[in-house]
């Protein structure tokens, strides 16, 4: 079974999201696009909530969220127990967020990274598995506090 992926953005990330969705489709990766679809101002938390709830409900395995900086999306998504959202601006961080932290949400800054770099980050993040190493399992477990 292939991985179920979801993507969403606010107005600050809508253009980058459009490009990423096309690239993911070209790779034959199924992705649900939850919006926004226009550059009209909207509220990033609304999209972060949808993605986080979808992952926790088992509808999706991982998600990508894009706003102007990626920071607001990460803060909002990380409010949910079981979500490990990481804001990445480089492939190195994307790789280790998966290998060591088992991140299940990637956030990007549509006003921070261009398409080329964003595409590289997404590809690394999607192709990197959690190591499953005992020390990383222990550390990820310590993230989940009451």
- Which are the catalytic amino acids? 67, 100
Element housing 107 (H / E): strand 105-109
d(CA 25, CA 12) in angstroms, rounded, equals 22
Residue 103, by phi and psi: left (phi above 0), alpha (psi -120 to 50) or beta? Answer: beta
d(CA 135, CA 21) in angstroms, rounded, equals 35
Q: Which residues contact 123 (CB under 8 A, 6 or more apart)?
A: none
């Amino acid at each position: 079974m292939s991985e179920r992926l979801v993507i969403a953005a606010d107005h600050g990330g809508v253009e980058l999201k459009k490009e990423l969705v096309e690239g993911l489709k070209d790779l034959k990766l199924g992705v649900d696009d939850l919006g926004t679809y226009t550059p009209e101002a909207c509220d990033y938390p609304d999209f972060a909530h949808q993605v986080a709830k979808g992952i926790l409900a088992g509808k999706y395995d991982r998600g990508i969220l894009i706003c102007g900086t990626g920071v607001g999306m990460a803060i909002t998504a990380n409010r949910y127990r079981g979500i490990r959202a990481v804001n990445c601006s480089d492939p190195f961080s994307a790789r280790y967020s998966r290998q060591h932290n088992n991140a299940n949400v990637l956030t990007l800054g549509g006003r921070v990274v261009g398409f080329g770099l964003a595409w590289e980050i997404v590809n690394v993040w999607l192709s990197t598995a959690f190591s499953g190493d005992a020390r990383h399992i222990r550390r990820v477990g310590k993230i989940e506090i009451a």
